[in-house]
Amino acid sequence: MTIREFKMPDVGEGLTEAEILKWYVQPGDTVTDGQVVCEVETAKAAVELPIPFDGVVHALLFEEGTTVDVGQVIISVQTGSGEAAEAPAQEIPAPAEAEEAAPAARQPVLVGYGVSESSTKRRPRKAPATAVAAQNGTTAPAAAAPAAPAAPVAPAVPAVPAQPTGERPLAKPPVRKLAKDLGIDLASVVPTGDGGVVTREDVHAAAAAAIAPQAVPAAAAPAAAPAPAAEAVAVSAAAPAADASARETRIPVKGVRKVTAQAMVGSAFTAPHVTEFITFDVTRTMKLVQELKADPDLAGLRINPLLLIAKAVLVAIRRNPDVNASWDEAAQEIVLKHYVNLGIAAATPRGLIVPNIKDAHAKTLGELSESLSSLVATARDGKTSPADMQNGTITITNVGVFGVDTGTPILNPGESAILAVGAIKLQPWVHKGKVKPRQVTTLALSFDHRLIDGELGSKFLADIAAVLEHPRRLITWS
């Protein structure tokens, strides 16, 4: 029998960690090369990880909700013949058993557990839920709270009502970090986990008690309030349960939300932003949308105003190619792009992401529609890959879907401009010398003034509006 280990891979350029969102396998399950075994969330997106070999799952070394560094072993698999499939978690001896055995006979079974003659003993800690379940011949789902790496299975330790006096409180690294972030002394927290381990819920209970001690006893772990399915992935045990008497709630920022926040701060204080606005009549474009929906040649495609707005942006870039550029800080150069990777800002349960349509400038209207539909569907499912969000050149953000008239969007880092599309509303408008109800919208263009000066930015924005006001220019200006 051979135990092979699968480490957390670098699923994106320069990423150093990822959070395990969901395990698709349990100890004892048979896996094959290429089978997806878990879903992880990096700082850029949610990604499914396939196992690179065949075998039987021996142990899951981290529970769902745990943030794992790239390069750490996350799952071990028994390959070849063997009888451990029936009791996968029993192959590794408990720490106490290993210490009692002769040091010379001890064999390396996991990274970090090689031959050692040290007699140093550690207090027994709680074994992973998956390993304990496998040892008992049952299968249990991974706990929602983050956990430390799975150590060799230890004997069960009876729960204790409080931390032993003078000893360091038992808690997993993510729980210790949470307590530090919330300003909670672990020694003052009453543990409810098996073996006297402090859990996330214990820390949140202590934090809530500190805010409203008369309403939340320190010994009570607050029950997590049920959340909509779409919200559950975004929160992922990051937020404590809401309490009616609590005046504040702290939500740790991580993953996509954390990186988005950092990127926006970097962009706002690095690129000199300028924002211009234009309000105009899009009645003809709205009529064209309805005509295209009825066109049998476009049957099965998603036709909406965003599609024609994207096409108008591409036409305007063709007329003003210098807007499609980036700033090279190291070389102090402007890099003109002869391709357009058109970004579409998408609000997802995990936060705002900006995937882009590669080589959008070369696509027909039908191809652009298919790319938009695929991009939106993938983003909503949380399956956008890091590659889909890299190398964008210009972005569109549609704030109109929320009923907002306009805004001053912040540039996606590394891009030259971002166009905010406001709500399209029926408004009184002067048309052919008379006031009539017309479909009107406002566009806001933010751009990097190092790349685009006021004249170029104004021409670019005016061209986008001109195409949407008279959509025949999609043909005459192409």
- What DSSP assignment string belongs to 233-283? HHHTT-SPPP-TT-S-------HHHHHHHHHHHHHHTTS-EEEEEEEEE-H
Residue with tokens 């409180």: 169
- Mean pLDDT along residues 322-337: 93
Give me the pLDDT at residue 110, please: 34
Contact indicator for 134, 88 with CB cutoff of 8 Å = yes
Q: Token digits for 316?
A: 């305007």
Confidence of residue 206 (pLDDT cuts 50, 70, 90): confident
The per-residue pLDDT for range 20-65, each reduced to its tens digit, is 888 999 999 999 988 999 988 876 667 888 998 899 999 999 998 8
Contact indicator for 11, 18 with CB cutoff of 8 Å = yes
d(CA 189, CA 205): 9
CATH topology of domain 2-135: OB fold (Dihydrolipoamide Acetyltransferase, E2P) (2.40.50)
Q: Which residues contact 330 (CB under 8 A, 6 or more apart)?
A: none
Please list the residue range(s) of the chain that carry CATH number 4.10.320.10. 170-242
Q: In what order do the strands lie in the sheet with 73-79?
A: 2-7, 73-79, 55-60, 30-31
Give me the pLDDT at residue 386, please: 78
CATH of 170-242, one of 3.40.630.30, 4.10.320.10, 3.40.47.10, 1.10.3720.10: 4.10.320.10
- Mean pLDDT along residues 348-362: 88
Which amino acid appears at position 113 of this protein?
Y
For residue 357, the 8-state DSSP code is E
CA angle (44 as vertex; 40, 46 as ends), nearest 5: 30
Q: Is the pLDDT of residue 396 over 80?
A: yes
Please list the residue range(s) of the chain that carry CATH number 3.30.559.10. 257-476
Which amino acid appears at position 138 of this protein?
T
Q: What backbone phi and psi angles, to 5 degrees, belong to 195? A: 75, 15
For residue 169, the 8-state DSSP code is P
d(CA 323, CA 301): 30
Give me the pLDDT at residue 363, please: 96
Q: Which residues contact 451 (CB under 8 A, 6 or more apart)?
A: 322, 323, 325, 326, 327, 334, 416
Give me the pLDDT at residue 76, please: 93
Please list the residue range(s) of the chain that carry CATH number 2.40.50.100. 2-135
Q: Is the pLDDT of residue 192 over 80?
A: yes
The per-residue pLDDT for range 8-19, each reduced to its tens digit, is 887 665 567 888
| Residue 475: CB atoms within 10 Å | 8
The per-residue pLDDT for range 278-328, each reduced to its tens digit, is 999 999 999 999 999 999 999 999 999 999 999 999 999 999 999 999 999
Q: Which residues contact 425 (CB under 8 A, 6 or more apart)?
A: 439, 440, 441
Look up the pTM and report it.
0.55
Give me the pLDDT at residue 194, please: 77
SS3 content of the chain, % helix, strand, coil (to 5): 30, 20, 45
The one catalytic residue among 273, 338, 361, 449: 449
Three-class SS string for 217-231? Answer: CCCCCCCCCCCCHHH
Size of the chain in residues: 478
Q: Is the pLDDT of residue 440 over 50?
A: yes
Q: Note if 58 is an active site residue.
A: no
Residue with tokens 């074994």: 127
Proportion of the chain above pLDDT 90, given as a percent? 43
- What DSSP assignment string belongs to 63-83? -TT-EEETT-EEEEEEESS-S
d(CA 106, CA 97): 10
Indicate the CATH number for domain 257-476.
3.30.559.10
Contact indicator for 463, 478 with CB cutoff of 8 Å = no
Q: Is the pLDDT of residue 221 over 60?
A: no
